[in-house]
Chain A
Amino acid sequence: MNPKRMEMLLAAARTATAPEPSPNFAERVMHSVRREQRSAAGLFDQISSLFPRLALAAVAVLALCVAADFYFTQSEASLATSVQQVTEQWLFARN
């Protein structure tokens, strides 16, 4: 394409006019802005409302773990004792 024709093409394309915004365009934008606000606020509210329960659940799990550890260390022999017992009775047992 020769430069003159290309320039003509560009010049004609420059004259294209933009479409007019629809009369309620600003309202459409505001609708999506408010929806955005609601979804952001909704997530925050959900976290806020769930947080006390989540905290309670976390504390309960922690307490359970501590209690279980305490119970097992008290009622059963320690690992060192068990290993020593196995060593003496099985591995190095005198025949």
Chain B
Amino acid sequence: MSAGAATLDDVMGAVVVHAALDSRPRPRTIPQVNDDAPLLERIRQGDTDAFAELVRRHQTLVFGILHRYERDAHRVEDLSQETFLKAWKALEQFDGRAPFAHWLSRIAVNVALDHLRKRKRAENELSFDDLGPDALEWLQSGDSQAELRASQARELLDLALRRLSPQEQLVLTLQELDGHSIEDISRLTGWSRVATRVRAFRARQKLRQALEDLEASVDSDKKGKMS
């Protein structure tokens, strides 16, 4: 095979890149119909077991929201459990005007924010040692065509996001990864639209800066090892 000819790996790599770039964030589908009303009525009448059915209906939604903020599957399950427990305790406050899933999503987002705050307070800074070899290689390569898997991207993003405030991490995740609009984020977090817009703008700038810093430090690390 001649040096200029594209190998199968090159072609497949390009396909993966295009597929990745085409995957624009799509908002998570939250049920619009309030068909949980009969179940909620049973719970209000004292049927505790009806809540288990409600959990089964919405567990995928809650896991889907929370896995963006925690890579460890066991911790995601713990956070999801915390979300449902909070929902149970606050069930009397649910007035039924909006679908139950919307109300539950707000609780899950609050649990996520609390989790990010706790993690920030713990100050367990990640370092390059926490990156897998593939993620580190992608960061070092500087190649815009290099393939990047979801798990490696999560490792890198996690490292960069730790440099942002919990609110900035939240807004960026909701906007860039979950594909929510500013209005949606404002509704989910309870922040004003202006505050949400400003936070989203600053968060994106800070993320870019954090990634550039990571690239610079990995470059200097590489040069240091070579010399």
Contact = CB atoms under 8 A, between A and B. Distances in A.
Nearest to A37: B48
B211 A6 contact: yes
A81 interface: no
Contacts of B21: 7-8, 11
Interface of B is mostly: helix
A77 interface: no
Contacts of B151: 16
Contacts of B67: 16-19
Given A18-B63, A37-B48, 12 more contacts: A1-B212, A6-B207, A9-B153, A10-B153, A12-B20, A13-B150, A13-B153, A16-B68, A16-B153, A21-B63, A21-B80, A36-B89
Contacts, number: 113
Interface stretch (B54-62, B113-121, B124-132): B54-62
B212 A36 contact: no
A83 B154 CA distance: 84
B17 interface: yes
A14 interface: yes
Interface extent on B, as a size class?
A: 35 or more
A2 B60 contact: no
Interface of A is mostly: helix
16 contacts: A1-B211, A6-B207, A6-B208, A6-B211, A10-B25, A10-B176, A12-B20, A15-B150, A16-B150, A25-B59, A26-B55, A26-B59, A29-B51, A29-B81, A33-B48, A33-B51
